Structure 1
């Protein structure tokens, strides 16, 4: 199945799900989030990190993740550490509903970058009879020492940041490069999402969204001939980018699979 076919089915699925869950609200995108309260830490910090498959904008509807992630790890100063043993199944409650999610305790002790990466179990989207697997990265930094952020991780589907992804400024731009098995992907469709209903990792809940949805539905970009895309950042907070159906795996359990690359960055106001 081609990438355009996957994108068409994903859009239809989002519309159906939005109508069913949010009634007359516009469609919003499925996103796997890897969330902690802050992406930049000056002192050693211990916190939960929640893994949520949901709609961060709009009604923040939470989907059940199913089984534990196939892979869950952190890269720090070039070393990869498996986090799966520490992951605990939780119920995460948004304003819309409660869904199955996962939480893992993290200690950001030594200075440098921490790239937390999750490869979830494929999620079955019943409305369009296909599976979605979002290979997701989120970037954190302790002590203002850059170490790992500019290096690819060799994932099947990946977005490589071209600027530090944890200290973007509001009003600046973010540029990423879409990679499939390390090779750039031209004309990839990239959905953009904002965490409008910020999670509380202590209680595993979120409140009401603080902003409304963009006019016309999900913000969408296309990568250029060399896999690059650029987005102007309008607001502080967590921004997610999902390149749809760009991974090499296109089938799971006898059905179509959309293997997506997701990256989360954080933007800040200059004070």
Structure 2
């Protein structure tokens, strides 16, 4: 009972961001067969609703970790206009150089976004993982971000019908009672056209899917469908103010699930 009260209190103390804002790292594939540059879209969007897209400013950082080595990729980031179903918005195209076998942990630290309707800033520090030749190297290691979700299952090898777990970290320490907003990429962007596609599912009738981390900062979610799933730990970061206003510094992780055949 005491633990439940502590978790509830921690969750209440965290700032609430606008529903379903997600920074996307989208690639057509997460398992890479051949060496080369993998195109990626950086889009701030409502992917499960196939809804409104938000204007992005140039990211503060865009880099990858491979075999424990960090490589700055900001020279591979270019501005673009993403064509959503409801509107067009400033976004970015990028590419990730995948050459050797192993994991490529890709990170975007965006500039804070001002959400006028709530009079707060949102900064979604986002991770995704590409892999070449099924050799695991980096997926289970923290990057050292202000806040991040450390996966406890391979994020590119999740089976539909199984569960996915992660631990929320803030300055390297687990966050108990963190609210995790969970989003399905119902309309995967067409990177060539840099535009949305038709939705494959409808938004949940009950609103956003939410989980709460336990006393060890761990959450678990059952994966019901194949595709890309996003997890956002709301307000889990140490920075809480920007330009004199409240900042929700979120940790975002994207994973990919497939059917067992």
**TM-score bucket (shorter structure):** over 0.9
- 1:65-80 alignment to 2 at 5 Å? 65-66=56-57, 68-80=58-70
Aligned to 1:22: none
Report deviation, 1:192: 0.1
Report deviation, 1:107: 2.8
Aligned to 1:4: 12
Report deviation, 1:57: 0.6
Q: Secondary structure, in 3 states, of the residue corresponding to 2:34?
A: coil
Q: Is structure 2 residue 249 aligned with structure 1 residue 259? A: yes
- Find the aligned partners of 2:136 and 2:247 in 1 and give their Cα distance: 35
- Find the aligned partners of 1:3 and 1:163 in 2 and give their Cα distance: 24
- Find the aligned partners of 1:7 and 1:168 in 2 and give their Cα distance: 30
Aligned to 2:144: 154
Instruction: Give unpaired runs (5+ residues) of structure 2.
Output: 1-9
- Find the aligned partners of 2:80 and 2:101 in 1 and give their Cα distance: 29
CA RMSD of aligned residues (A): 1.3
Q: Secondary structure, in 3 states, of the residue corresponding to 1:206?
A: coil
Q: Is structure 2 residue 29 aligned with structure 1 residue 38? A: yes
Q: Structure 1 residues 226 and 6, CA, compared in 2 at 3 Å: closer, same or farther?
A: closer
- Find the aligned partners of 1:98 and 1:179 in 2 and give their Cα distance: 34
Q: Secondary structure, in 3 states, of the residue corresponding to 1:105?
A: strand
Q: Structure 1 residues 223 and 217, CA, compared in 2 at 3 Å: closer, same or farther?
A: same
Aligned to 2:196: 206
Aligned to 1:23: none
Instruction: Give unpaired runs (5+ residues) of structure 1.
Output: 15-28
Aligned to 1:56: 47
Q: How big is each residue's C-alpha offset from its partner over 1:170-201, in whole Å with a ceiling of 9 and x where there is no partner?
A: 00000000000000000000000010110111
Tell which deviates more after alignment, 116-125 or 55-64.
55-64
- Find the aligned partners of 1:60 and 1:208 in 2 and give their Cα distance: 11
Report deviation, 1:60: 2.9
Aligned to 1:132: 122
Aligned to 2:205: 215
Q: Secondary structure, in 3 states, of the residue corresponding to 2:232?
A: strand
Question: Residues 249 and 259 of structure 1 are in contact (CA less than 8 Å); yes or no, is this contact kept in structure 2?
Answer: yes
- Find the aligned partners of 1:77 and 1:267 in 2 and give their Cα distance: 24
Q: How big is each residue's C-alpha offset from its partner over 1:27-82, in whole Å with a ceiling of 9 and x where there is no partner?
A: xx00001110011122224331110110001133210012x111110111111110
Question: Residues 163 and 220 of structure 2 are in contact (CA less than 8 Å); yes or no, is this contact kept in structure 1?
Answer: yes
Q: Secondary structure, in 3 states, of the residue corresponding to 1:205?
A: coil
- Find the aligned partners of 1:43 and 1:142 in 2 and give their Cα distance: 8
Equivalenced residue count is 252
